[in-house]
Every structure is written in structure tokens, then in C-alpha cells.
Structure 1
Amino acid sequence: MITEAEARKIIGVDGARALVKIVGGAWKRFTDEGVKRSATTRAGVVWDYMVDAADEHLLGKFDGVQRVMLDKSPAYVLRDRVLLRFKKHDRGMLTRNIPTELQRRIAQNGFFDGMPGLAVLTCGYILDKAEAGIEKIVAVRSIGGAVDWHIDLPELAAGVLAPFKPIIPNVGGSEEIASLPSIARVARKEDGDGAK
């Protein structure tokens, strides 16, 4: 199990900025093509672009991030605590998956078999009603076909660390998670401190 507060801490402000760049950049790349596609094909093309961008903007650029393959599909492990998968979300913040046995177990449990410490989050976009552009960029925790909680990634990228859904009612939650490390930019030789 993972709380929204823990996930916010693990992703962190820099991680959220990178995720917004990945998702928004993938959509822009798709729209710049100017090719009309079916909704299913469009989602597949944007997903390919999100994975390409994630490889470019996360791997080797952030400590605490590694790429893994699940059922021939790439996913990203953050701080050995979160398994992040890129997806298109519907207006209810849920995703559509081919109902393989693996997908059914993930949907029911919220983690992969044998890995209860590695919580599954989906990261992606929600289109506006006209499906002409992105309305929201989110990270979502769903269990049993229902949204447990979500993170508005542009909001987190702007520095809003307090969870929308507190760990304990009437408590901010930041004290409980202070010791969790965020994914962090890799220090580069030219800037010395990794902040870029």
C-alpha cells in the first residue's frame, strides 16, 4: 500500500516537472504530425511517444529510477517503491487495458504478484471534452477498478507537496513522510550540483 503523500514525496517537484514534460511533449509531438487517427491508434502513438520521452528524460537523469519490462511493456520503478506506467486516462481517471490475467490481478490488488511493496501508479493525460487537447496530467492510484487517489502533476511541479487526501484527517501528512527520498536529478559535471 502507498499513500498519496508518500507518492508525492517519491516523485518530488523535479520528478513531477519531468513527468509533465514527458506527457505534454508526447501529446505535442502527436499533434505536430497533423495525421488524423482513430482514438485507439492515437492513444497508442501518444503512449509510444511518452515511453520514448521517459527513456530520454528519466533514465540516467534521475537517481532512483529504473526501467523494467512487464508483459513486453516498459514501466519505471521509482525508489524501489512505485511502479509507474504511462497511460491515457478517461474522464474518470481510469485507464483501459486489454484484460489479460496480469492486468486483472493488477487492477484487483494494486500491485504485481509477489511485489506488494511496489505500488502501481499510472501516469498520463486526460483529454478535454472535445479531445482536442490535454485537460489534466495526472498520476493515479486505482484499486479494484476505482480511483483510490490521484496527483495533479502540474500542481506538484509547482511545489504543492501536501496531499489532497491526507494520511490522517486534519493532518497535513508531510511529517510522516519526511524521511522518504524523492527521485533526484543526477549531478552533472558541468553544473556540479545536479540542478538544471
Structure 2
Amino acid sequence: MLRDSAGDVRWGLPQHLDASIGTGVAYALRAHGRQHTVVDTSSALVQLVRSGALDVAIIEHPCVTEGLEVGPVTQLSRSVLVASDHPLTSARRPSLRMLRGLALSCPSRDDNPPAFDALIDRLRARGLDPEVLPFTTAAAQAAAVASGAAFALGSASTQSPFITAVTVTENDLAIRLRVVSRTDSVQDAADAVISAIWTLR
């Protein structure tokens, strides 16, 4: 099994992922021993796996993963999160173009340049070229959205009385995840992580 000298399963996940993903993976890994979990950027997690500090990690795709074992790409759908009084919430056919004038609250490009660039390209292809408002905590992102200054991408579980999750008509904004592990690692725990993510689709 994937364990360090203390018998722990050392795994990581990106800091901006929905909590349901982390809890689902942690539940699936219970059979593999005690867990040591690291939350960081995708780029940092790749380096931690490459150095041997972690056994397995979930990262956002695309990301530079040279020298590591990589699992299949799994897509998880995302909604658009806006302030509850935004016109998008009551539109008959919600469209990304209705978000013009709002900034995008998302992780910094430094967190994972390939994934950041891919997201911006997808938005631009749909006629939206927003200012980017990086966030460092979920609370900061929620505050930016609730203030009416920004929109974000996330799951319906992020809703609150002040934030509404909307599925837009051209919803190709799924988050793409994959699992990376060391090339010299046994794959049983990595397979458990992949399976857990797969069930969340």
C-alpha cells in the first residue's frame, strides 16, 4: 500500500476543490491506513509527489506531470455562482454573456498555469473575457461573489441565501481532474482515489 514509514497514506488535493471531493476521497481511503492530507496548489502537489513527500495527489488537468504515473482525466460539472439578485438567476436561458461586467473569482494563474489558461480560453470562446480576481480562501471567493463584483465556478453545494448556482446553456466549464502518483508506488491507494472521484461525476 501507499504508506510512509509511520504507516500513513500521504495524499493531497487542490485547495480550491469542493469539500465533497475531499471528503469522498478520504472516506474511500480509510481501508488503506491512517491518512496524512496536504492541501495546496496543483503545481505544488505535483512537486510533492515527485519528491516523495506525497504518495498520491489529485490535481487539476492540464498540469505538467512529467515523470509521474497519471490516471485518466475525470470531468466534474460546475455551475456558475453569482449573487442571488443577479439577472442570470432568473433568466429563461442563462448565458455566459450575461456575466459581462463581472470579474472571475478563481485561483491565481501561478497555481497551475495550463489549467488557468485553458479556462480563460474556454470563456473567451463563449464571448466572455473577464477581469480575473484571484482568491486564496473559499471565504474570500464567496465574499467576492456575494458582493456582486464577481462570479465563480463551483458546485450547487456552494449556494447560500446570498449566492445562487446557475447552469448556463453553454456549460462546457467542467473541472478536469486526474490523479498522479510516484512511478515506484503501488497503485492500490491511487486506484481508490480515482474510483472515488469517478463516483462524483
Using structure 1 for the length normalisation, give the TM-score: 0.29
Using structure 2 for the length normalisation, give the TM-score: 0.29
